[in-house]
C-alpha cells in the first residue's frame, strides 16, 4: 500500500474532520466572510470570486439531539444533522448560506436553519432539475445570474468576468489534481485507503482552494506509485451516497474484507471532481455548462434527464476500472436513491454483475453484521471468478 | 340542475369504521350527504379511464399539478398517479400494487404514492407485455386493482416535492424508455425576500410567467402526440367550469367558519377528487352547488357536522387515505370538529380569482405554484395563521406523514409559530398517505387527548381571568 506524506496529509485530514474549526481559523486569519453552501450543485467558484471562503456544509459526527425536535426521524442523516447543527450553534461561523438544489428534505433543513438562526441569510435559487429540456440551459444561466446577485448581496463584492474566470481556473486545477489520484487508483498504481481519498475530496470542499491545491501537489510530488494493482484483492466500485460522505469506518471495514476500491461515483469522490467548468467564453454561462455537463459525465438520481442513465454510466465505468462488483451505499431515507436503485439493480443483474446494497445511518454502524454481508459478497465474487477461470 | 344525493354509489371511498374504532362508541360525525355523488362521479371517471383504449382514446399518465383541463381539451384520457394511489389506499386495495413495487425493488420508506403507482406501472407493463392490449391480465384485475391503461406518453408537473419529478422519470424507465415524456418544471416560491408573501412580491409576479411559457410548450408537445391542433376554446370553457366550481367550493368552505361547523375537513377531503381531476363540466359545478346548498341548509336548520362540537381543529398534513373513515369518527368521538386543513383549503384551484378564461395558462401556472408544499416557511406561516383566524381554531393536528416529507417539512416550525403567535396548541401523530403500516393509533389517541386537556386548561384560565 502507498503512503501519503503524513505531514502534508495532516492539515487536510484536520479540515475534513472538523470543517467548522478550519473555517473559524480561516476567518480569524483573514478576516474574510465564510459562505456555506449545500450539496450537490452549488458552484463554489461564484463565492470564491468574491474573496469569501466557500464551504460545503458537511454532516457533523455529533450525535443528533436538538435536531430531533426540528425534523422527523425519517429524514436522511445529512438533513437531520443540518437541523441539529443549526440548533446547537455549530453553524455560527457562517455569514450566509446558498442553495441551488431542490431536494425536499434539504429544503426542510433549510427552513429549519432560517428559523433557528434567522440572522444568517439563506439564499435559494433553484436550478432546474430537468436537464434536457429545450429551455434547461437558458433556465440555468438565468439562475446563475440570480445566484450571482444573491452572493454579491451577501458579500458586498461584485463578481466580475475576470474574477470568476480566475476562480474557475483555480477550481479546475484542484479538480485536475484530485482526478490524478483517482486515475492512479483506477489503474492500480495507487493503493491508499478509500477513507484517505475521501479526506482529499472532502477537504477540498471546505478549505481555501489555493491552499488545498498546494497541499495536493505536494502529496503527489512525494508519492511513490506502484507498478500494478494487488491481484489477490476483489476490485469493487462504490456507488451512491449523495450529499454526505459514507463513514470512514465503513470504508475501512470494506477494505478489511480483502477488497480494493478501484472507483466510485460518490459525491465525496469521483462525482464531485468529474467535471471542469469550461474555461473559455462567458464564465457565468460556463457555470451553467458545468452543471449540465456533470450530469452527463456522472448521471445523478437527483436530476431528471431522459437521454442519460446512471446504470449505463455504471456499466461503462466498470469496464474501464475492471471492478468486479458494485457496492451501493444508500443513506437511509434518501429518496432519489431509493427511487433509482431498482434500475441499477436490474441492469447490473441482467449483466450478472454482483451488487450489494448497504444502508447507512447517522447514528452508527452495525459493523459485524455488515462485515458478514460483505464477506459473503466477496466470496460470491471469488466463486464467480473461479467459474470464469474453469475451462468450458 | 340539482344532484340526486340519494343515488347509490359504486366503488366509493371506504368510509366505514375500521377494526380500530371503539365498537361501543357512537358515531358522532354527521357527514354531508351531497358528497356521495362525488363518489359516483369518481367511480364513473375511473371506469371511463379503464376503457379508454377500447374507445381508441390516447392515454396520458401525469403526476403533480392539475393539468387535466389541458388534457381534456386535447381529447385525451388522463390518469393522475397520486389520485390512483389514493383511491387504492382509500379502498384498502393498495397492497398488491405496493407488493409489486417492493418486488421490483422500491424501499418501503419511499413515498407511498410513488411506490404504489410505480407498482401499478410494473403491473400494467407486465399486462402490456402479456396481452398487448395495454390492460393488466383480466385474472389479476379485481384483486390487484391495477386496471390502468398503459400510457401513450407521460407529463410531469410537480410542485414542491423533488420526488415527484424523479418518480415519473422512473415510470418512464419502467416502461423501457420507449414513450415520450414532458417535464414542466415548477420552481418553489421560497419567499424569503422582504416583499415576499402569499400572492405578492417580485418572486410571485415573475415565476408564473416562466411556468406559463412551459405550459405553451406542453401544448405543443401534446399537439405533436395527438397530431391535431389544440382546442384553445375548449380549454377556456373547461377553465370557466373550474372557476365556477372553485368559487362555489370556496364559498361553501367559508360557511364553515360558523360554529358549530356545518361540514368538516373530511367532507372537503371527499371533495378533493372532483375538484382535482374530474372532467370540467356542468356536473362538476352542480356537485359543488349541491355541497354548498346542503351546508346552507344545515346552517338554517342548525345541523352540525359533529355532535356536541367542543373543539375546532385544523389538520396539517396530507390525507391518510387508509384511515379516512376511521379518522372522521375518531375526532368526532372526542367532540372535535376538524374544520379546515392545509391539504384541502390551500390546494386545488383555491384562488378562483386568478383564473382568467381569456388567458387560462397563466392562472393555471399560478395555481400550480401555490400548491401547499411549494411555499417557503414565511408563506406557510402566513397561511396557517390566516386559516386559524378564519375558522376559530383551538388546536392543530399535525399528521406527520412518514413517506411524505414534502408535507411534513415545516410542521415542527409551524407548531411553534401557532403557539407563539396565537397560543394555539397542537400535537403530532404518525401515519402515512397510502401505507397503513405506518399509522400509529396510540400516538393519535394520546396526543389528541393531551391537546384537548391543554385546551380545556387554557379555557379555564381565561374564564378565571374574565
* pLDDT digits 0-9 by tens, B110-152: 999 999 999 999 988 876 555 444 444 444 544 545 578 999 9
How far does the CA of residue B216 sit from the closest CA of chain A (Å)? 12
pLDDT at B124 (0 to 100): 84
pLDDT at B146 (0 to 100): 58
CA separation for the pair A242, A244 (Å, rounded): 6
| Lateral strand order in the sheet of A122-124 | A53-56, A34-37, A96-99, A122-124
Q: Is residue B8 part of a domain?
A: no
Task: Give this prediction's pTM.
Answer: 0.94
Across the A:B interface, residue pairs with CB atoms under 8 Å apart total: 118
Instruction: Say if the Cβ atoms of B217 and A134 lie within 8 Å.
Output: yes
CA distances, A61 to each of A83, A94, A105, A361, B388 (Å) = 13, 18, 19, 11, 40
- Residue numbers in A near B110 (CB within 8 A): 335, 338-339
- Residue numbers in B near A102 (CB within 8 A): 162, 187-188
- Domain spans, chain A: 10-163, 229-389
Burial track B113-147 (b if 16+ CB lie within 10 A, e otherwise): bbbbbbbbbbbbbebbeeeeebbbeeebeeebbbb
B186 to chain A: closest CA residue: A128
A67 to chain B: closest CA residue: B412
Query: Given this chain, do its domains A10-163 and A229-389 carry the same CATH topology?
Result: yes
CA separation for the pair A382, A275 (Å, rounded): 34
Instruction: Say if the Cβ atoms of A126 and B402 lie within 8 Å.
Output: no
Q: How many domains does chain B have?
A: 1
Instruction: Say if the Cβ atoms of A102 and B105 lie within 8 Å.
Output: no
Range A45-67 average pLDDT: 97
Instruction: Say if the Cβ atoms of B413 and A70 lie within 8 Å.
Output: yes
Residues 259-288 of A with CB under 8 A from B: none
Q: Count other Cβ atoms within 10 Å, centred on residue A274.
A: 18
Q: Is residue B445 part of a domain?
A: yes
For residue A111, give the nearest of B110, B167, B413 by CB distance. Answer: B413
A143 to chain B: closest CA residue: B187
Locate cell 406501472: which residue?
Answer: B121
| Residue numbers in chain B where pLDDT is lower than 70 | 1-24, 127-146
pLDDT at B22 (0 to 100): 55
**Residue numbers of the domain that contains B227:** 36-465
Question: Is 1.10.357.10 the CATH classification of the domain at A229-389?
Answer: no
Longest dimension (CA), chain A: 71
Give the pLDDT band (50/70/90) at residue A116. very high
How far does the CA of residue A119 sit from the closest CA of chain B (Å)? 12
**Chain A CB within 8 Å of residue B384 CB:** no
**Chain B CB within 8 Å of residue A105 CB:** yes
How far does the CA of residue B450 sit from the closest CA of chain A (Å)? 18
Strand ranges (E), B305-431: 311-316, 336-341, 395-401, 425-431
Closest CA to B360 of B267, B232, B180: B232
Q: Is residue B300 part of a domain?
A: yes
Residue A370, helix vs strand vs coil: helix
CA separation for the pair A167, A171 (Å, rounded): 6
Instruction: Say if the Cβ atoms of A122 and B165 lie within 8 Å.
Output: no
Instruction: Say if the Cβ atoms of B163 and A129 lie within 8 Å.
Output: no
pLDDT at B3 (0 to 100): 42
Question: Comparing A109-113, A197-201, B19-23, B81-85, which segment has the lowest mean pLDDT?
Answer: B19-23
**Chain B CB within 8 Å of residue A40 CB:** no
Tally DSSP H helices, then E strands, for chain B. 19, 8
Residue B286, helix vs strand vs coil: helix
How far does the CA of residue A266 sit from the closest CA of chain B (Å)? 19
Closest CA to A15 of A178, A275, A204, A260: A204
For residue A70, give the nearest of B181, B183, B412 by CB distance. Answer: B412
B181 to chain A: closest CA residue: A306
For residue B377, give the nearest of A115, A129, A341 by CB distance. Answer: A115
Whether the bond between B260 and the residue before it is cis, its omega within 30 degrees of 0, is yes
Cβ atoms of residues A152 and A164 within 8 Å:
no
Q: Is the pLDDT of residue A1 over 80?
A: no
pLDDT at A205 (0 to 100): 98
- Indicate the angle between helix axes B112-131 and B81-90, nearest 10 degrees: 100
Cβ atoms of residues A147 and B197 within 8 Å:
no
Q: Is residue B31 part of a domain?
A: no
Q: Which three cell numbers stand for residue B352?
A: 378562483
Q: Is residue B19 part of a domain?
A: no
> Which option is the CATH number for A10-163: 1.10.30.50, 1.20.1250.20, 1.10.10.60, 3.40.50.11890?
3.40.50.11890
Cβ atoms of residues B280 and B242 within 8 Å:
yes
Q: H helices of A96-208, where?
A: 104-116, 136-155, 161-186, 194-206
> Which residues are CB-neighbours of A195 under 8 A, at least 6 positions away?
A248, A251, A252
Q: Is residue B13 part of a domain?
A: no
pLDDT at B123 (0 to 100): 87
Cβ atoms of residues B434 and B85 within 8 Å:
yes
- B105, B118, B192, best to mutate vs chain A, most A CBs in 10 Å: B105
Residues 111-140 of A with CB under 8 A from B: 111-112, 114-115, 121-124, 126, 128-130, 133-135, 139
* pLDDT digits 0-9 by tens, A11-29: 999 999 999 999 999 999 9
For residue B170, give the nearest of A69, A105, A339 by CB distance. Answer: A339
Q: Is residue B276 part of a domain?
A: yes
pLDDT at B126 (0 to 100): 75
pLDDT at A285 (0 to 100): 98
Give the pLDDT band (50/70/90) at residue A391. low
Instruction: Say if the Cβ atoms of B185 and A124 lie within 8 Å.
Output: no
Cβ atoms of residues A126 and B369 within 8 Å:
no
Instruction: Say if the Cβ atoms of B166 and A75 lie within 8 Å.
Output: no
For residue B188, give the nearest of A72, A102, A342 by CB distance. Answer: A102
Give the pLDDT band (50/70/90) at residue A227. confident
Q: Is residue B14 part of a domain?
A: no
Burial track A105-125 (b if 16+ CB lie within 10 A, e otherwise): bbbbbbbbbbbbbeebbbbbb
Amino acid at each position: 500500500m502507498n503512503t501519503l506524506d503524513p505531514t502534508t496529509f495532516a492539515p487536510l485530514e484536520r479540515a475534513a474532520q472538523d470543517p467548522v474549526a478550519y473555517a473559524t481559523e480561516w476567518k480569524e486569519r483573514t478576516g474574510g466572510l465564510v459562505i456555506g453552501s449545500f450539496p450537490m450543485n452549488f458552484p463554489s467558484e461564484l463565492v470564491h470570486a468574491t474573496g469569501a471562503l466557500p464551504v460545503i456544509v458537511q454532516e457533523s459526527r455529533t450525535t443528533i439531539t436538538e435536531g430531533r425536535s426540528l425534523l422527523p426521524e425519517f429524514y436522511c442523516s445529512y438533513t437531520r444533522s443540518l437541523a441539529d447543527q443549526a440548533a446547537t450553534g455549530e453553524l455560527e461561523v457562517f455569514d450566509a448560506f446558498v442553495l441551488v438544489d431542490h431536494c425536499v428534505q434539504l429544503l426542510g433543513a433549510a427552513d429549519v436553519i432560517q428559523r433557528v438562526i434567522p440572522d444568517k441569510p439563506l439564499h435559494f435559487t433553484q436550478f432546474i432539475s430537468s436537464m434536457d429540456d429545450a429551455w434547461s440551459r437558458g433556465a440555468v444561466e438565468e439562475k446563475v445570474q440570480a445566484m450571482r446577485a444573491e452572493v454579491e448581496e451577501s458579500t458586498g463584492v461584485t463578481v466580475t468576468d475576470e474574477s470568476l474566470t480566475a476562480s474557475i481556473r483555480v477550481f479546475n486545477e484542484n479538480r485536475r489534481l484530485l482526478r490524478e489520484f483517482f486515475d492512479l487508483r483506477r489503474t492500480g498504481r495507487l493503493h491508499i485507503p478509500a477513507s484517505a481519498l475521501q479526506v482529499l475530496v472532502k477537504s477540498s470542499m471546505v478549505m481555501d482552494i489555493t491552499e488545498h491545491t498546494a497541499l495536493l501537489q505536494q502529496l503527489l510530488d512525494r508519492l511513490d506509485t506502484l507498478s500494478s494493482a494487488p491481484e489477490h484483492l476483489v476490485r469493487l466500485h462504490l456507488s451512491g451516497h449523495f450529499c454526505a460522505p459514507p463513514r470512514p469506518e465503513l470504508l475501512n471495514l470494506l477494505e478489511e474484507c480483502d477488497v480494493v476500491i478501484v472507483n466510485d461515483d460518490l459525491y465525496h469522490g469521483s462525482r464531485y471532481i468529474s467535471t471542469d467548468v469550461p474555461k473559455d467564453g462567458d464564465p457565468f454561462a460556463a457555470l451553467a455548462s458545468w452543471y449540465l455537463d456533470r450530469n452527463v459525465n456522472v448521471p445523478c438520481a437527483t436530476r431528471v434527464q431522459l437521454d442519460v442513465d446512471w446504470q449505463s454510466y455504471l456499466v461503462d465505468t466498470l469496464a474501464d476500472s475492471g471492478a468486479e462488483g458494485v457496492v451501493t451505499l444508500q443513506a437511509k431515507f434518501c429518496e432519489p436513491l431509493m427511487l433509482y436503485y431498482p434500475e441499477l439493480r436490474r441492469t447490473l443483474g441482467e449483466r450478472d454483475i454482483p451488487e450489494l446494497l448497504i444502508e447507512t445511518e447517522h447514528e452508527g454502524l452495525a459493523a459485524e453484521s455488515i462485515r458478514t454481508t460483505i464477506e459473503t459478497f466477496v466470496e460470491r465474487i471469488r466463486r464467480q471468478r473461479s467459474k470464469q477461470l474453469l475451462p468450458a | 340542475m340539482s344532484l340526486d344525493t340519494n343515488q347509490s354509489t359504486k366503488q366509493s371511498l371506504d368510509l366505514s369504521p375500521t377494526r380500530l374504532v371503539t365498537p361501543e362508541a357512537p358515531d358522532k360525525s354527521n357527514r354531508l350527504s351531497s358528497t356521495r355523488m362525488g363518489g359516483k362521479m369518481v367511480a364513473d371517471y375511473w371506469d371511463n379511464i379503464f376503457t379508454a383504449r377500447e374507445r381508441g382514446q390516447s392515454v396520458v399518465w401525469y403526476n403533480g399539478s392539475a393539468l387535466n383541463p389541458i388534457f381534456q381539451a386535447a381529447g385525451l384520457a388522463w390518469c393522475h398517479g397520486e389520485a390512483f394511489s389514493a383511491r387504492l389506499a382509500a379502498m384498502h386495495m393498495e397492497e398488491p400494487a405496493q407488493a409489486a413495487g417492493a418486488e421490483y425493488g422500491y424501499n418501503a420508506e419511499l413515498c407511498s404514492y410513488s411506490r404504489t403507482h410505480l407498482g401499478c406501472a410494473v403491473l400494467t407493463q407486465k399486462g402490456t407485455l402479456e396481452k398487448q392490449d395495454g390492460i393488466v391480465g383480466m385474472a389479476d384485475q379485481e384483486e390487484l386493482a391495477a386496471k390502468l391503461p398503459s400510457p401513450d406518453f407521460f407529463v410531469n408537473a410537480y410542485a414542491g416535492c423533488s420526488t415527484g419529478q424523479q418518480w415519473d422519470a422512473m415510470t418512464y424507465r419502467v416502461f423501457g424508455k420507449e414513450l415520450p415524456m414532458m417535464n414542466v418544471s415548477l420552481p418553489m416560491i421560497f419567499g424569503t425576500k422582504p416583499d415576499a408573501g402569499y400572492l405578492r412580491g417580485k418572486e410571485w409576479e415573475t415565476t408564473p410567467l416562466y411556468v406559463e411559457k412551459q405550459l405553451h410548450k406542453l401544448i405543443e408537445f401534446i399537439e405533436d402526440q395527438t397530431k391535431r391542433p389544440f382546442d384553445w376554446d375548449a380549454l377556456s370553457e373547461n377553465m370557466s367550469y373550474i372557476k365556477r366550481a372553485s368559487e362555489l367550493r370556496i364559498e361553501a368552505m367559508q360557511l364553515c367558519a360558523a360554529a358549530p361547523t356545518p361540514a368538516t375537513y373530511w367532507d372537503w377531503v371527499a371533495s378533493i377528487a372532483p375538484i382535482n381531476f374530474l372532467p370540467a363540466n356542468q356536473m362538476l359545478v352542480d356537485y359543488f352547488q349541491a355541497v354548498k346548498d346542503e351546508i346552507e341548509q344545515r346552517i338554517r336548520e342548525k345541523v352540525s357536522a359533529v355532535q356536541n362540537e367542543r373543539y375546532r381543529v385544523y389538520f396539517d398534513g396530507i390525507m391518510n387515505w387508509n384511515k379516512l373513515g376511521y379518522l372522521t369518527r375518531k375526532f368526532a368521538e372526542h367532540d372535535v370538529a376538524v374544520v379546515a386543513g392545509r391539504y384541502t383549503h390551500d390546494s386545488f384551484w383555491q384562488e378562483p380569482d386568478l383564473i382568467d378564461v381569456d388567458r387560462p395558462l397563466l392562472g393555471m401556472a399560478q395555481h400550480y405554484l401555490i400548491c401547499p408544499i411549494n411555499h417557503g416557511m414565511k408563506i406557510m406561516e402566513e397561511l396557517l395563521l390566516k386559516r386559524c383566524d378564519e375558522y376559530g381554531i383551538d388546536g392543530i393536528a399535525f399528521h406527520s406523514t412518514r413517506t411524505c416529507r414534502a408535507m411534513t417539512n415545516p410542521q415542527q416550525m409551524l407548531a411553534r409559530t401557532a403557539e407563539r403567535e396565537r397560543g394555539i396548541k397542537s400535537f403530532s401523530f404518525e401515519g402515512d398517505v397510502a401505507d397503513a403500516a405506518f399509522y400509529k393509533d396510540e400516538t393519535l389517541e394520546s396526543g389528541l387527548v393531551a391537546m384537548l386537556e391543554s385546551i380545556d386548561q387554557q379555557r379555564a384560565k381565561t374564564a378565571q381571568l374574565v
